[in-house]
Structure 1
Amino acid sequence: MDSNNTAATAVDTSNIKTMPIIISFLIAGFVGLFSETALNIALQNIINGFGISASSAQWLTTGYLLTLGVLVPVSGLIMQWFTTRQLFLTSLVFSIIGTLIAAIAPSFAVLLIARIVQAVGTALLLPLMFNTILNIIPPHRRGKAMGLIGLVIMFAPAVGPTVSGLIIDKLTWHWIFWFSLPLLVIALVFGAFFMQNVTQLTKPKIDILSIVLSTIGFGGVVYGFSHAGEGGGWGDPIVIVTIAVGILSLILFSVRQVKMEQPMMNLNAFRYPMFVLGLLLILVSMMVMLSSMILLPLYLQTSLALTPLVAGLTMLPGGVINGLLSPVMGGLFDKFGPRFLVTPGLIIVTLVMFGFSTISLETSTSFIVGLHIALMIGISMIMMPAQTNGLNQLPPSLYPDGTAIMNTLQQVAGAIGTAVAISIMTAGSDRYMESAANPQDPNTAIQAFTEGVQSSFIFGIIAAIVGVVISFFIRRVKVDHQAN
């Protein structure tokens, strides 16, 4: 298999203005990730407003991740057919259209459609952003560049819940999207002026069967886990069939990619051990982080009866600290490598999960704030170092495939983590209600919900411990190639 034929190659970067390109991505990424976490704080309002269950509301997150899981695998191919500038502007157009639909959504179904349209924009933007950074930044400076991206990527989710809480306190949740819309337009205009093309297009043959197998595979796995989390249960025939069909399709997809001269996704990236280890650590982090980010707002507003504004403020310090630490971790990674960051980070995350598993109706908000800060510090020590170290080991010809693989499986892991967490929470709540002396008492329902949340964090403990074990095998990559 000739990997050089499967990836867009980098152009001469002597005329590339690096900083305007990075700023363009930072603006677009900030707004997209802001709206994602801002909606988490608004979930209770959406549940009440549309008269839906928490498991149904979960589809606003899972549907978003499902769309990413279907589209991101194709991104490596798309980046070989369209220029950096074309893809950047197209991603923003989709994000703007989705945000506008969400802002005027009269029903849950319309809001869900809007989220899917937004996800199309994100599915184009995320792999494009990382592939561009790999092509315009030399390896010895990538830690700082990734840290800068991490600053915005983590700061946006941090301020999202707080701004959302302020908006919901005075207005409706629709205004979360009205707030985002002008910022997306600014990103579009800025990108139209400053975005440059950083790759040469190779336009490989499009294999329809690979696209179909990828869509059924990733879509089936995410849908199956999501349906289980929605209340279908793990023994539901729909769950069993969709997961089984998804896994079979992924096996057939992988076999086909290996046999093709010009695969849609070059799986040669898996021949690089540090890429594989970095990928596994990212998947663990995504499952822990996204499951926590959907459980905590629900717990804060249901069990502790906090307003959306106070719940948002409770989660603000951790997110802000995480964002501010990202450039610091980038510099430390460039200097010392990943091992002295990743393993301690995972140990911190494991201890935090133990702490979250003890929360109750009497838990103080200061305790939650402290745990959340520790969680975000741990995540900042894991995500960027593991991702950058893994991608550094790949040759430039595999950059589009490596970023596509990593971004695809991140979304799948996030969807699985979210679905499993909600499923465990629901099962824990049901068990408590079955043994309760007075199930009709509203306080009993709140206590049952809290018990379910405690159970869900046990899943986080197990995932984090697995991550600690994996981290012992990570080592710094010695980069022999340079960004072209």
Structure 2
Amino acid sequence: GNNRNNNRHSLSCPLTREESYQNDHLTHAAFVSIAILTFITFVGNFTQLQLSAALPTIVSDFGISVTTGQWLTSIFQLVMGVMVPLTAYLTRRFSTRQIVIASMAVFTLGSVFAWLGSSFVLVLIGRLLEAVGTGVMWPVLQITVFSIYPLSRRGMAMGTVGMAMSVAPAIGPTLGGVQTDLNGWRSIFLTLTVIGVISLLLAIFGLRNFGTRDASAKADFFSVGLSIFGFGGLMFGFTNIESYPFTHP
């Protein structure tokens, strides 16, 4: 009996809905996990548009065209658009902790690349890794909310989480502009590196697993490839429309 109780307290042991939501309130473990997931998802939404105000400075520093510099924001949206459909497979195949810890490790690595990158290509690779790291977080947060809250409380829970998410894109460009004016655009990625490390530690030491895994789950990678080619090609075309005629192949 004691061994079973100890196993239930293990971070890797999934919490059931009954263990997560009792007496119309979240249990402590569930509340901490929801708070961590909300914070990490907020950071992802915040990061998406944070570079908007810094783009003119980055374009000037690397001596590139505005069209090329715009890829620092375009590639983020492209990669996130590809990662979201994969989340259904990832959440069935891997545990919540595995997904979040791996995502934050990739996000932190990308932030370091962009912070220390000596060329535009390295900064762009860093942004790509940041997008890979945060692209799955919003769906993971939604799935976790659905796993924890009873049907009668899901609307309230999603509304609360959604309010936090809607604030991030609004303040991202403002704070990014302030950081660029005070300490240069690289300070943005230094801050994101620190936030990534904090998020990784929070996930390792405070996040619980929710739901069940299915080792036999499979993804339709052919369709994923088509979505990358189709969505990526569409964005590439619109991004370069000022550089080439509309009828250019």
TM-score in terms of structure 2 length:
0.83
RMSD between superposed Cα atoms in Å: 2.0
> Relative to 1, partners in 2 of residues 1:11 and 1:23: Cα closer, same or farther, differing over 3 Å?
closer
- Tell me which residue corresponds to 1:367: none
2:225 corresponds to which residue? 215
Counterpart AA for 1:57: G
Among 12, 16, 26, the residue aligned to 1:12:
16
5 Å-filtered alignment, 1:237-386, equals 237=249
Measure the CA separation in 2 of the matches of 1:37 and 1:236: 30
Mapping of residues 32-111 of structure 1, within 5 Å: 32-111=44-123
User: Does 1:202 find its partner at 2:206?
Assistant: no
The corresponding residue for 1:177 is: 189
For the residues of structure 2 that align with 1:225 and 1:176, how far apart are their CA atoms? Answer: 25
Paired AA for residue 240 in structure 2: E
| Bigger Rg, structure 1 or 2 | 1
| Structure 1 residue identity aligned to 2:131 | A
For residues 185-225 of structure 1, the C-alpha deviation after alignment (integer angstroms, 9 at most, x for no partner) is 22222222221111111123535xx2023222343233233
Deviation of 1:233 (Å): 4.3
> C-alpha displacement at 1:123, in angstroms?
2.0
Q: Runs in 1 of length 4+ with deviation above 4 angstroms?
A: none
Is 1:129 the counterpart of 2:133? The answer is: no
Query: What's the % identity of the aligned pairs?
Result: 30
Alignment of 1:187-198 (within 5 A): 187-198=199-210
> Per-residue displacement from partner, 1:391-419 (whole Å, max 9, x unpaired)?
xxxxxxxxxxxxxxxxxxxxxxxxxxxxx
2:234 aligned to which of 217, 224, 229: 224
Q: How does 1:473-484 map to 2 (within 5 A)?
A: none
1:311 aligned residue = none
Instruction: Give the CA deviation at 1:101.
Output: 0.8
Mapped partners of 2:187, 2:40: distance in 1: 19
Where relative contact order (Cα < 8 A, 6+ residues apart) is larger, the structure is 2
**Change in 2 beyond 3 A, CA 1:168/1:87:** same
For the residue of structure 2 that corresponds to 1:42, the secondary structure is helix
Deviation digits for residues 83-116 of structure 1 (CA, Å, limit 9, x no counterpart): 0111111111111111111111222111110111
Q: Find the aligned partners of 1:61 and 1:81 in 2 and give their Cα distance.
A: 30
1:63–1:115 Cα contact (<8 Å) kept:
yes
**Structure 1 CA distance for aligned equivalents of residues 41 and 245 of structure 2:** 35
Residue deviations 1:254-289, cap 9 Å, x none? xxxxxxxxxxxxxxxxxxxxxxxxxxxxxxxxxxxx
Whole-angstrom CA distance in 1 between matches of 2:222 and 2:153: 38
Structure 1 unmatched ranges of 5 or more: 1-9, 238-484
* Residues 50-76 of structure 1 deviation map (CA, whole Å, 9 limit, x = unaligned): 122222222112212222233322221
- What TM-score do you get using the length of structure 1 for normalisation? 0.44
Aligned equivalents of 1:30, 1:217: Cα separation in 2: 26
Give 1:135 shift: 1.2
* Residue identity matched to 1:67: V
When residues 167 and 205 of structure 1 are mapped into structure 2, their CA distance, relative to the original with a 3 A threshold, is: closer
Contact 1:68 / 1:123 at 8 angstroms: preserved in 2?
A: yes
Measured in 1, the distance between the counterparts of 2:202 and 2:185 equals 27
Distance 1:221 1:155, change over 3 A: closer
User: Any idea what the Cα deviations from partners look like across 1:137-189, whole Å, max 9, x if unmatched?
Assistant: 22322232222222322222222222222211122100001112222222222
AA partner of residue 107 (structure 2): S
Structure with more of its chain in helix, by fraction: 1
Match of 1:186 among 190, 198, 216: 198
Cα drift, residue 127 of structure 1: 1.7
Q: How many residues align?
A: 226
The 2-side partners of 1:112 and 1:119 are apart by 11
